[in-house]
Amino acid sequence: MQAYVLLNCNAGAESDLILELKKIPGVTEVNGIWGKYDVFLKIRSEDPDGIDKIVSKLRNHKAITKSYTLPILYGQGGTIDELESGRQ
């Protein structure tokens, strides 16, 4: 399973938070972003409950004030590399 997560955090906490998030098993990408949200995460787990466990951990983090989780729908899309090579 895979999901994207958008996070808001306490002002000024972005850099330290990003360093912490990179250490969480299942987090495959972390980026600071501009706009409505502060941090973008890509998470992945082979365990059916793994995504829920990661999201629960995020929601309990003291610096995170809001989260928005977007689960991936398999079979609809993929990376540009996959689409160009014919794998979907």
pLDDT tens figures, 35-75 = 999 999 999 999 879 999 999 999 999 999 999 999 998 77
What pTM, to 2 d.p., does this model score?
A: 0.84
Q: Which CATH class is domain 2-85?
A: alpha beta
Burial of 40: CB neighbours in 10 Å, binned 0-12, 13-18, 19+: middle
pLDDT of residue 74: 79
The SS3 assignment for 31 reads strand
Q: Which two tokens stand for residue 18?
A: 């990003």
